[in-house]
Structures are given as structure tokens and as C-alpha cells.
A and B are shown apart, each in its own frame.
Chain A
């Protein structure tokens, strides 16, 4: 496998992890809207369903993208594909 193919394999791997986490917070948990509302776990006192839609999932996405950007930069670095000048 060439260097470029390996780089792309790793990039795809990161994509799948990122999309899996994204799926859980954007789609997966909202299949359980009623269950979340009934749950006794109440972050900051809100029902879980309400908390996830108004803050929880949103915050998860922010953290996820920063994490994803950092990881992708590491992959690019590992294979020497980082851009030389970055200004």
C-alpha cells in the first residue's frame, strides 16, 4: 500500500469514528425522546430530552469538531502531508 493509500485509510477511519459519535448525539438518542423525558437523570435539573436538545448535543458537536480537527492534523503530519506555510 502506498503512503497516500495508508493516509486515506487512516483518514477514513477517523471519519467513521467521527460520524458514529455524531450519529449518537444527533439522531440516536432522539429515538428515545419519551424515555429521556421520563429518566430520573436530570442534568442541571432539566429533563434529559430537553437538556440534550437545548445544550447537550450542541456542546458535544463543538467538542467533536475540535477533536476531529486535531486528530486529522496528526494524521496529516504523520504522513508528511502538512502544508508548509500556514499563514
Chain B
């Protein structure tokens, strides 16, 4: 029922879906006015959207290998762009990024540049060529281009390390949202999140993930943009915040000058719950070194081009040309959210700190603030905290603390919007985290089932058996990710940045040089992947354990060290060993032109 007719009717199907979702929002708003409790609305939002994804997942079930791995290679350009945008924009983008900008200012905005600029590399260096190759997974490309199981295995290793680091962060994000929206403990909520994630991908693999991701993109973009436009209009900051926010940015700078950044004593800070941050940095001015900004942007860009869950989305388009165009559409859809994140951070902060606004709490008495409903809710969730350090009875700028991941989720309440918007934002955050987790879990499970199990362990396995193995692995990896997420080792944003660095360390140069340097051979690629990953990991541990940083490279940018080692070792080892044979060279030539047959067959 999905094939053929469904593809032709996509705009209509998703048009009806979007209309239905908007109607649902209005219905919830009416129910809120009628006196339905906030908690019930929050649950309804999350349950309704997750239910729809599960239905799409069920309808997209498949028993075919190419539908399971690459959605039958028939996803149209623009829809693949939407799916990629959802795949890409994770809990980190939706929930944590505005928070990072909120607390760390300009320095963290390197993430915006990095997470968009990377797509230029994807479009120009990799995506069209890998699509032409016709592979199912990224290690599939490495294994065939360089030849040999060792190269394939090394690629699987890097992919697993990077994607697994990433997926724990996403399950953490789904857990955070589920625990707030459904009012259940975090340790249980991560498994609720996991169950929702598996419902989308288990039966239909890539095909199911594709169509749920398009649905998730629609939910998350509405949920992100609507509150920002609403707050902007409510505050009188202008109808179109992106063009008219300069006054608000300047106003924050003025208020910062007025309040000043008072440094809290260590003893005072010790009373603040773990993981919460205060506003200690200027909102808009350049507050770090140029190199700090640039190095973070470089890592995020190279990481973007090396992360397999993004790359594999471009394997699903019908042609090389549409893969290339699809990258541009992806970035356009991503741009809609990323250009809004600083607006959200600005409006949220202004709502909170401007004494002229009804919602401002700085300068009010501490007991008044502690009596506010939303303060109590978020305080209970351990994501907000105020304390009267100087004992003057009023709340100062330095006496307010919030969790970075709470900024987006709490902003509608702080800015005094009806609760229905908070429910919508929770559903959006859930969609963002789920869509990325789906892509990641699938990337890992596919690499293990296709590259490790089918290509290396049992090349004679039948289709049914391959797909069962793929599904079992999917569940196992999901559970492993949820278990680690429940331990809360690293924050959402931190883990995601690490994932980019891992991917960049091990995969960036082996992938790029595979297309752009014919002389690159298997020995070089293996050296590049393994030494790059090892050097990156070593440097991360080195800095984490108090070692002196080299060239100002921090634990967030260790990919610089890893990828440099990867590049040098790959080039040196390649040149010292034999050039690839004529057959491999011809294969690279074939990859470089769009027309003609793919290198790997339709079913492999």
C-alpha cells in the first residue's frame, strides 16, 4: 500500500498530516481554556505524536533488503531533504543548542556555523560520489573501494564509536523530555524513549525511518518556530524576529552592563545543583579567542561530513543528481531552525532578565520568584535554582541558575505563553531526539549486520536471516545506548560534540581521499582510520586527565589532532605501499561520473 502510489502522493499525504497536526494543536488550546490540566495536555502531545510515528513505522514494514537498507532508493529530493534535516537536528540542536548560546554566547555559536558549513563538504566532496557507488552503508564504501575485510572492519569500528557516543546523548534527550512531559523518573523515561525509537525503525528499517523522519521534521520545525514568533510579537520585538531583533540584542547588552557579572564564591556555587549554569558571559560580544571559535567550527564541519547516519540518507535518493540537490534542500530545512536558535536564546533571556517586562524575575524578591508555578516545576525537575547569596532578599543576575537543556523547554512558560505551547515544544524536542536516534541506531545496526555479519562472517546468509540479524542488533544497540544514557556520564551537547570529533578523527580523510585520491590504498586507509581514532581518543583522555593542551585544542576539538594524524599516516602509508590495482582505479573513475551503473549492484 506504500509503494508507487504513496510516493506519487507524498505532498498530499504530508499536507493532510500537517493540517491534522495544526488542528490537534488548536484542539489542545481549546481544551486548555476549558480547564484541562497542563499535565494531561503534555501527555496528550507526546502520546499523539509518538503514536503517529509508530503507525508510520508499522505501515512501512518491509521484508526486502534494499527497502530495509536504503528505502528502495526512491525517496524524492525535497522529502529526503526534510528527512535528513530531522535525522540531523537532534536533541542537541533542538533542546541543547539554544541553551549553549544562552549561557556561553558567541563562543558556542561556532556550532551554528559548523553544523551548517559541513554540508558544503558533504555536497561537494562526498554525497554524490557515494550515491553513485551504490553502497548500503558507509563501511560498505570503504570496504569495496579499498578492498579487504580489515578496512571494512576498521570503518565499522570508527562508525560504532562515533555513532554510539552520539546515540546515548539522543536517548538522554528523549528521556529528559519524556520525564518532564509524562512526569516519570528519568531512569524509566529513557526506556520509554527507547521503546518509541524502536517502534519507528524495527519493522521497516530505512524505509520506515525515512517516512517517520519527514513527519518528525514537520512537528519539530512548527514546535521550534511558533513560540519564537509568538514571544517576539508578544514582547513587541517585531513580527519577524530574524530581521528585527537587533534592539533586543542591544537591550541585553545594556542590562548586562547594568547588573554586571558578579562572580560567585566557590562556597556559594557548591550549593547549586549539579549541571546547572548561571548567566556569566556576555550575550552577543566576542568572548573567546578566534582560534577557539574556528577550531570548534572546523571539527563540527569535518564531523558532519564523516557521520554515517547523515551520509546514508543520501544513499536513498533515486539518482546522483537528486542526492546532490537533496543536500541543498537539507541545509535549507536545517537553516530554518538554526537561524532561529539565537533568536530563541535572546528572547528567552530578555523575558527573564528585563525588569520592564512583566515576565522578568531579576530584581524581584526571592520569595516571590520561588512561588511562581513554573519555577517550582522546573526546580523540582532539578533544572532551575535560585538562591539569595548576598542575603538582600532580591534576586540578582548571578543568583539564577538553569540547566542548559531546560532553556528551550522552559522558555514558553517563562515568557508567559499558554501551556499548550510547552506541550508542543516537548513534542518537537521528542521528535528531534527520536529522529536522530533512529538514524543512528539504524546506522550502527546496519553496519554490524551488513558489513560485519553478512560481508565478513556469513556471506551466504539468506535475506530473511540477514534482516532478522539486523533487527536483533537494532534492539541490542538501543538497549545498550539507553543503559549508558541512564548513567548520565556527559551532558547532551558534550557527548554530541565528542561524536563529531570521533567521526572526524577516523573517517573524514579515508572517505574523502577514497574519492579524490586514486593512489590511496587499503593499507593507508586502515592506518588512517585506526591511528586517527587512536590519536583522537588518546588526546581526549590526555586533556580530561589534566594534561597540557597542544595548540589550544580542547576536549571538544580533539578531532583536530585525530584527523591530522589520520591524514599524515594515511598518505605516508599509502605512498610506502603498492598503488591500488587497475581494477580499483577504474572503479574510482566510474564513481566520478554520475551516469551509468552503480559500482555495487542493486541487491548485494
Contacts and interface: CB of A to CB of B under 8 A. Distances in A.
12 contacts: A14-B124, A33-B293, A46-B249, A50-B342, A55-B339, A62-B331, A64-B120, A65-B120, A68-B120, A69-B123, A69-B325, A73-B324
B585 interface: no
Interface in A15-39: 15, 18-19, 22, 25-27, 30-34, 36-37
B298 interface: yes
Contacts of B123: 65, 68-69
B246 A42 contact: yes
Interface string B107-142: 001101110110111011100100000000000000
A26 B290 CA distance: 12
B324 A61 contact: no
Nearest to B74: A87
A26 B593 contact: no
Interface residues of B, number: 54
Interface stretch (B218-226, B260-268, B314-322, B552-560): B314-322
A64 B503 CA distance: 25
A22 B450 CA distance: 35
Q: Which 10 A/B pairs are nearest by Cβ-Cβ distance? A: A45-B246, A26-B117, A54-B342, A53-B109, A65-B328, A22-B120, A33-B286, A81-B593, A66-B328, A81-B595
Interface of A: 4, 7-8, 11, 14-15, 18-19, 22, 25-27, 30-34, 36-37, 42, 44-47, 49-50, 53-55, 57-59, 61-62, 64-66, 68-69, 72-73, 76, 79-87
Nearest to A3: B593
A82 B120 CA distance: 22
B324 A69 contact: yes
A82 B594 contact: yes
Contacts of B322: 86
B321 A53 contact: no
Contact of B319 (A7, A37, A86): A86
Nearest to A84: B595
A57 B115 CA distance: 11
B319 to A, nearest CB: 5
Interface of B: 106, 109-110, 112-114, 116-117, 119-121, 123-125, 128, 242-247, 249-250, 284-286, 290, 293-294, 297-298, 301, 318-322, 324-325, 327-328, 331-332, 335, 338-339, 341-343, 589, 592-595
Contacts of B242: 55
B367 to A, nearest CB: 37
A62 B117 CA distance: 9
B594 A83 contact: yes
A53 B112 contact: yes
Contact of A50 (B119, B249, B328, B335): B249
A58 B116 contact: yes
A30 B119 contact: no
Contact of A57 (B113, B284, B332, B593): B113
Nearest to A8: B592
B119 A53 contact: no
Contacts of A76: 321, 593-595
Nearest to B253: A47
B119 A61 contact: yes
Contacts of A4: 589, 592-593
A47 B242 CA distance: 14
B246 A15 contact: no
Contact of A61 (B117, B244, B321, B342): B117
B125 A27 contact: no
Contact of A26 (B297, B331, B335): B297
A87 B595 CA distance: 14
B313 to A, nearest CB: 15
A1 B133 CA distance: 25
B335 A69 contact: no
A63 B319 CA distance: 22
A30 B595 contact: no
Contacts of A30: 110, 113, 290, 293-294, 297
B290 A22 contact: no
B247 A26 contact: no
Given A33-B106, A50-B106, A59 B119 contact: no
Given A33-B286, A34-B286, A49 B106 contact: yes
Nearest to A63: B328
A33 B595 CA distance: 44
Contacts of A31: 290, 294
A26 B286 contact: no
Nearest to A38: B286
Contacts of A58: 112-113, 116, 335, 338-339
